[in-house]
A and B are shown apart, each in its own frame.
Chain A
Amino acid sequence: MSDKNITKRIITEDSADEFDNASSFGSASTTLTNGQTSRSNTPTMFGTTGNTRAGAGGQGSKKTKKKKRLSKMKSTSGKYTMTCMAREDHGQPIFGCQFNNRLKPGEPKILATVGSNRVTIYECSSDGKLKVLQVFADPDTEETFYCCTWTEDGKGKSLLAAAGARGIIRIFSPAEAACVKHFLGHGNAVNDLIIHPSDHNLLLSASKDHSLRLWNILTEYCVAIFGGVEGHRDEVLAADIKITGSHIVSCGMDHSLKVWKLNKPELQKTINLSYTYNQRATRPFPTVKENFPEFSTRDIHRNYVDCTKWHGDFVFSKSCEHNIVCWKAGKTFQTWDEVNFSTTETTIILRLDITDCDIWFMRFSMDIKQNVLALGNVKGKCFVYDLSSTDPNQISHNVLTNQKCNAAIRQTAFSRDGNTLVFVCDDATIWRWDVTNNDTLPEDTS
C-alpha cells in the first residue's frame, strides 16, 4: 500500500477518535471492567474483514482456537449466576440456541441448540441443570446447522425449525421425535430463521443466496422471495419481523440493512392465498417476488452486519466492528409511515460498545420484554445491557465471565420469563446463567 493510503488512515483514525469520544459520551458509564477501550482496538478495514474473520461454515473453530490464559476478571457481576454448562461431543461450534417461548405459562423451559449436523433439545430444569431430551442428526455430514427457531402446529404441539449450510429448512416435531417436513428452495446456506410474531405458520429464512424467503409451513408454499434488483448483494446474515408484523428488517455481508414491507396488500393477499390455494392446481403457487425493499441503508455499519432486531420503531443491529447500533430510518421523530423512502437518511440513537467482537456470525438477543440485551464476544465474555433505562446515554451493562468460558459466543437466548440466559460457544459448550433473585433486570453497575 502506498504511503498516501497510510497517512490517510492515520488521519481517519485520529479524527474518528475524536468523533467517537464524544458520540459515545453517554455510554462512558459503561467503560469496561478491564479498562480496555474499544476505540483503541477499532480495526481498520484490513484488520477486520481482511483477515480476522471466523466463518460460519464450521471452519471458524480452527481459526479462533486460542487457549489463552484464564482471564482474571471477576467471575460474575450483577444478578446472573452461572448455574450450568454442558459440552456436546461433536466438538464443533454451536451456532444457534433458542428457547421455546411459545409454551404456556408453567411449562418447562425448553432450549434447542444447533451446531455441526446436530440439533439438540434440552430442558432447563428448575434445579439449574441442562437435561438432554432429544438429539437429531442429519445423515449428510456436510450439513452444518446455523440457526433454529421454535414454532407450533396450532394444535398444541411445538415444532422446531432448523437450517444451515445446505440450505434445507427442516421442521422437527419433538412430540413425534422426527423431522416432519423440509423445505427446498434456497440456492445456498440459510443463516437465520424467524417466525412471524402473530402467525406461527409463517417462517422467514435469510440465506447466503442473497435472498429471504417467506414460507407457509402449514401448507408448504413459498409465499414470497425478497431479493433481486435492489435486494442484498451478498449473504443475508440475519433478519427480524416487527412485532406488529408490518415490516421485515434484514442485514448482510453487503454492509446494508434493508427494510421490507410485509403489510403490503399484495403480500397480504398472497399470504391469505397460501392457506387456501389448491394443492392440486395445475399452476404453481404465485410466489411474490419482491425486488425492492422499502428502505435500505449502508450508513450504519461499515462491515458485515450479522445480527439485527426490531426494538419498537428502532432497529438494533451489529456488525463486526465492536459495537451494537440502535438506529431508525429518517429523522429522529419520524415514524415509519412518515419516512420518505426515497431517502437513505438514518438517525443513530445509541451505540453500545463491546470489546473483542470482531468476527462475524455473533448474534445478540433480547428478552421478550426487550429490557435486556445480551451479546457475547470472541473471548467468551457475555455483555448484558439494561435497556430499561430512560436515557439511552446511560445504558449500563454487566459482563458475565467464567474462567473456563473462553471460546467465541455465537448466540445468546433468554427464556420467556427472562430469568434464564443461555449462550453457546465455538467449543461446543452451552452455558446457563440464572437470575438469582426474582428481579429480571440486571443491576445498574454505574
Chain B
Amino acid sequence: MGGSTGRSSRSSETVSGNNAVAAATRGSKIISITKAKAPPPVAVAASSTLVQPIDWKRRVRSEYFSILHQKRTRRQDEAKVAWKQNRISMSDSLAEEMMKWDKTTNTIWMCCLEVPPHSACMKRATITSWEMPSPQNCPIRVINAVTGTPTMYTWAPIQQNFMVEDETVLHNIPYMGDEVLDQDGTFIEELIKNYDGKVHGERDGDWIDDEVLVDLVKAMSTIEDEEKKKTKDRGRKNLFSNEVARRVKKNEESPEDQLQVIDVSDNEIHTIEEIRKEPEQGMIITTGAEIRTPRNKLPSMTVFKAISENFPDKGSATEIREKFIELYEKLEPSAGLPPECTPNIDGPNAESVPREQTMHSFHTLFCRRCFKYDCFLHRLKAYHPGPKMNRRNGLEFQPNKVCGLDCFLHLDEVKLKQLAQLVIDKDGDASNDARIRKIRKQVSQDSGNEASSEDSNDSTLVSRKSEPCSSGSGKKVKCHDSNGHNEKSSKNERRDSKDSTESIKSKDLTMDFLINSNSNSMMMGPSFMKEFQMDIYQGWSGAEQSLFRALHKVFLTNYCAISQMLMSKTCQEVYFFAQKEAADILLEESLKEFTPPRKKPNKKKNRLWSLHCRKIQLKRDGASNHVYNFTPCDHPGLPCDQNCNCIQAQNFCEKFCLCSSDCQNRFPGCRCKAQCNTKQCPCYLAVRECDPDLCEMCGAHEYDISKINCKNVCVQRGLYKHLLMAPSDVAGWGIFLKEYAQKNEFISEYCGEVITQDEADRRGKVYDKYMCSFLFNLNNDFVVDATRKGNKIRFANHSVSPNCYAKVMMVNGDHRIGIFAKRAIQPGEELFFDYRYGPTEQLKFVGIERETDLL
C-alpha cells in the first residue's frame, strides 16, 4: 500500500475518494501547466533514479487498496450526513403519522372470551411457562375449511415467442424444501457444475466494482505514463518542455479542458505539494483529451494484464480493457451520445442531417422479419438480414407523368434532359407509359421476395399515391391491373393495418393539400419561384431537409412523389433543392441496378415447383428428425451451394435471405385451390404454413380473414380457439376448450421463451426437480420454455390417449409450435397432448417430432 495510501492520507477529509483520484490525474495536468512556465529540473533528476521495470501486479494491488481506502473514507462521511438527513425527515413524517393516529384511531380491543357451548368436547391448546404455576388452557376454535387452488407460479402472458439470452451464471440456488436436499445432497452441486461453478454472489461483484475499476485503470494509466516518460526523457530531455508547451496550448484551446481545470483548482495546492514530495508524479502529463477518449490513449496491455492477474474472475486482460472502455463512456458525462444516434428529426428544432443519421434507428432497430422495431424474437444479429441494396424495382423512380400544371417536368431544363434520355434509351419503347407497365408486371412476379428490400414498406404505399398524382386529381384512385400490386399493399395493410389506414387518410389530406398548394403557387406565378430559387436552403426546415435526403435515395428523380411525401413542398421546389444538393446518386447508374425483366417466368416457376417437390421427397426420405433453425443466408455474389447456411441446415431459403429471388433453394409455395389441409398441398407436406408472399391461389395472402380459403395459415393469423383455464380433472390446472373443434383443427400456438438447447438443459435440471416443466423442443437449436412467459395452452396436461397433438411448423421463416385437435373435441373438454415421456427420464419433455416424421 505504501506510497499510495500516503497520498490518500494527505487528502483532506472532505475530498471524496473519487475526487482524490481524479485530482491525481487532473491535478497533474495543472502541474504540467505550471511546469511549462518553468521546466522542472527536479523531474529530470527523478527520472534517473528508478530504472528497474516495475512490478505491475504489485502496483495494481497497492493502487487498488488505496482507491478502496479512499472510497471507504468518503463513503463513511457521506453516509453519516445522509443518515442524519434521513433520520430528521423520517422522524418528522413519523411524528405526523403518530399525531394523526392518536387523533383518529377509535379501535378498542374487543375479544370474544365466551366459552363455546360445546367447549367440553373441543380440543384444547396448552400453553406452558415457568412463571405460571399451572399451564394455561384454551379451547381451539377450528376455522372453516377452504379448498385451495392448485399450485401456480406467476407467468407473464404472451401471444408470441420471445427470445431470451442464455444465463451462464446461476441466478440463485433454488429451494425445494429440506427433504429434497436431504434426499439428494448432490443435486445442488450438480446444478452448480452446470454453470461451471458460477452462482450469483459467488463471483464477487462488488469488491472490484465498476467505479473502482475505472479509477484503478486511470491511476495505473498515470503510473504507466510516468514510467514511460522516465524512459523517454532519458533520450529527449530537450524535447520534453516543447511538448509540454504544445500540450498546454492544446488544453487552452479546448474549453472543456479549462472547465476541468477549474474543477480541480481546489486541489491544486495539495497536488503541487504532492509533486514536491514525489517528484515523479510531476512527470505525468495526461491531458484531459487523452483521458476523455480512452480509445485514443489507453494504458497498455501490461496494465490490464496486471489487473487481470489480480482479479482473475474479472476476465482476461482484453475483457477488462473492453469493459473499461464501455464503463468509461458511461461514467463520463462528457462522453455523451454516440454520434451515429438518430437526432431529433421532427418539429421546429429538427436538425438537418445526412440520410444515414436519419435512418440510423431504422437500420439498426427495425426487424425486417417482423416489420416492427425491437422485435423480441430475432434479437440476435444473425437473424437480421440487411437491406437488399442490389435489387430494386424501378417502379416509381421515374418521373412518369406530369403531376400538375406546375410540375417540374414542365421546366425547360428537365425537358431537355428527358429528351436526351430518350435518345439514349434503345429500348424502342417510345411511350413512357408502356415501359412502366412492363416493369410493374415484373414486380408482381417477384413480389414474394420483397420483404428484405429496404424500401419495401414505404414504396408500396407511395406507389398508390403516386398514381393518382399523375392523373392530376386526388379523388380518383386508379386500380392497377397488376396482381402483385394489390397483393403487396394488402400485405402491408395486414402488417401494419393501423398505419396504412392512417396513411390512406393522410393520403386524402395530401391530395387536398397538394391541389391547394399547386393552385397557390400557380397564382403566385413564376416570379415567386425565381425568388425562391435564390435562397433555396432558407425555405427548407431541418426536418424537411432530412426527410428529403431519406426519400431521395428511394425515389431518385421522381420529385413528384417526394413532394407528396414531404407534403409541404411542390415538386418544383424539390427539384431545385435536389439540384442544389447535388445528390451523388447518379440516375443512370441506379437504374441499371434494377434487375432486367426475366424471360418466360412461368416456365421457370414450373421448373422450380417440380424441383421443390423432388426436394421435399428427398427430405422426407432422409428421415432425419434433425430440424435446424432458419437463419437468413447472406453470401454476396455466391449462389446458394453447399456453403450456404440454409442448405447446410437442410432448410429452404426464405424471402428473408439475401440470395437472388430465383435461388434454387427457395420454396416456391403452393398453388392449391383447396384448403391446404391435406398432403396434396406442398406447404402442408413440408410442414410449413402457407406463405402470403408465395401462395396466392389459396388466399393465404388475403388481408381479410373471411376471404381466406386456406386452413394452413392459423398460426400466423392467430386463429386460436377460445380456451378456459380451471383446476384440472387430472392434476393441477387444466385447460378446457370452450368451443367445438374438428379433427386436425388448430387449437392454439404453444408460446414461450425461446432458449438455446444448452440453456434448456440447465433450466430443465431445476424443472425436473420441481416436477414441473414447460419445456418444448422447437428444433435442434432452440427450445420453447413457457415457465416464465407463455400462453394458456401451457396448462394442457399430458395423456397417453390425448385429444390434441403438437406440430412444429415453419411459419414465415420461424419455427412455431401449433397444437391441433387429434379428433373432434366437444366444448368443455379438457385438452391433453402427449408429452412423450421418456422411459428413463420420468418428467422430461422430449421433442415433438415433426408431423412428417410421424407419418
Docked complex: A1-54 residues within 8 A CB-CB of B: 1-2, 5, 8, 11-12, 15-16, 18-19, 22-23, 25-26, 44-46, 49-51, 53-54
* Pair B156/A57 contact, Cβ less than 8 Å: no
Determine which of B110, B175, B313 lies in contact with A53 in the assembled complex, contact meaning CB atoms within 8 Å: B175
The 8 A CB mask of B171-205 against A (1 = contact, 0 = none) is 11111011101000100110010000101111011
User: Are A87 and B128 interface neighbours, CB within 8 A?
Assistant: yes
Residue A66, interface by CB 8 Å: no
> Does the CB pair A84–B129 fall under 8 Å?
yes
The stretch of A72-80, A264-272, A390-398, A435-443 that contacts the partner chain: A390-398
Q: Could you tell me if B129 and A130 are in contact, using CB atoms closer than 8 angstroms?
A: yes
Please provide the chain A residues from 311 to 341 with a CB less than 8 Å away from any CB of chain B in the complex.
311-314, 328, 332-333
Whether the pair B171, A184 counts as a contact (CB closer than 8 A) is no
Stretch at the interface among A229-237, A279-287, A375-383: A229-237
Q: Are B111 and A170 in contact (CB under 8 A)?
A: no
Return the contact of B127 from the options A5, A50, A86, A390 (Cβ within 8 A).
A86
1/0 contact trace for B103-124 toward A, CB 8 Å?
Answer: 0011111111110000000010
Contact between chains at B87 and A156 (CB < 8 Å):
no
CB atoms of B107 and A182 under 8 A apart: no
Known contacts A23-B72, A391-B80, A304 near B178 by CB under 8 Å: no
Knowing A110-B109, A133-B111 touch, does A313 contact B86 (C-beta < 8 A)? yes
A291-B138 contact given A132-B127, A156-B107, A253-B175, CB 8 Å threshold: no
Q: Which segment of B142-150, B391-399, B670-678 sits at the interface?
A: B142-150
Q: In the complex, are the beta carbons of B172 and A254 less than 8 A apart? A: yes
A233: which B residues are within 8 A, CB to CB? 171-172, 788
Contact A45 B202 (CB under 8 A): yes
On whether the beta carbons of A86 and B177 are closer than 8 Å, the reply is: no
Kindly list chain B residues whose C-beta atoms are within 8 Å of the C-beta of A167: 148-149
In whole angstroms, how far apart are the Cα atoms of A187 and B185 in the complex?
Answer: 27
Tell which of B47-55, B92-100, B274-282, B283-291 binds the partner: B92-100
Of the candidates B97, B109, B139, B143, the one whose C-beta lies within 8 Å of that of A170 is B143
Report chain A residues within 8 Å CB of B788. 233
Question: Using Cβ atoms and an 8 Å threshold, which residues of chain B touch A46?
Answer: 192
Interface residues of A in 48-65 (CB under 8 A from B): 49-51, 53-55, 57, 59-60, 62-63
Closest chain B residue, CB of each to CB of A19: B207
Contacts of B628 in A (CB 8 A): none
* In the complex, B65 has a CB within 8 A of chain A: yes
A392–B79 touching, CB < 8 Å: yes
**How many residues of B sit at the interface, in one of the four size bands?**
35 or more
Closest to A176 in B: B112
Chain A residues lying within 8 Å of B126, measured Cβ to Cβ, are 89
Query: Which of A175, A229, A388 lies in contact with B112, CB distance below 8 A?
Result: A175
A373 contacts the other chain (CB 8 A) = no
Contact between A184 and B83, CB atoms less than 8 A apart = no
Indicate whether B132 reaches chain A with its CB closer than 8 angstroms: yes
Residue in B75, B106, B109, B155 whose Cβ sees the most chain A Cβ within 10 Å: B109
- Contact status A299-B80, CB under 8 Å: no
Closest chain A residue to B130, Cβ basis: A85
Query: Does A244 reach chain B (CB closer than 8 Å)?
Result: yes
> With the chains together, A103 CA to B141 CA distance in Å?
24
Bound together, the chains give a CA A419 to CA B804 distance in angstroms of 65
Residues in B whose Cβ lies below 8 Å from that of A392: 79-80, 83
A22-B107 contact, Cβ under 8 Å, with A50-B173, A170-B143, A291-B156: no
B829 at the binding interface (Cβ < 8 Å): no
A178 touches B154 (CB 8 A): no
A residues 210-259 with Cβ under 8 Å of B? Answer: 210-211, 225, 227-229, 231, 233-235, 243-244, 253-255
Q: Is B68 an interface residue (CB 8 A)?
A: yes
Contacts of A229 in B (CB 8 A): 156, 789
Chain A residues with Cβ below 8 Å from B109 are: 100, 103, 107-108, 110, 158, 174
A103 touches B86 (CB 8 A): no
Residues in A with CB closer than 8 Å to B174 are: 234, 253
Are A8 and B175 CB-contacts (below 8 A) given A157-B110, A291-B156, A390-B83?
no
Q: Are B110 and A25 in contact (CB under 8 A)?
A: no
Check B842 for interface membership: any CB of A closer than 8 A.
Answer: no
Scoring B residues 377 to 418 as 1 if CB is less than 8 Å from chain A, else 0, what string do you get?
A: 000000000000000000000000000000000000000000
Say if the beta carbon of B337 comes within 8 Å of chain A: no
Residues of B within 8 A of A16 (CB): 204, 207
**Residues of chain A at the chain B interface (Cβ within 8 Å):** 1-2, 5, 8, 11-12, 15-16, 18-19, 22-23, 25-26, 44-46, 49-51, 53-55, 57, 59-60, 62-63, 84-90, 100, 102-105, 107-108, 110, 118, 120-121, 128-140, 152, 156-158, 166-168, 170, 172, 174-179, 182, 184-185, 187-188, 197, 209-211, 225, 227-229, 231, 233-235, 243-244, 253-255, 291, 298-299, 301-304, 311-314, 328, 332-333, 347-350, 360, 368-370, 388, 390-393
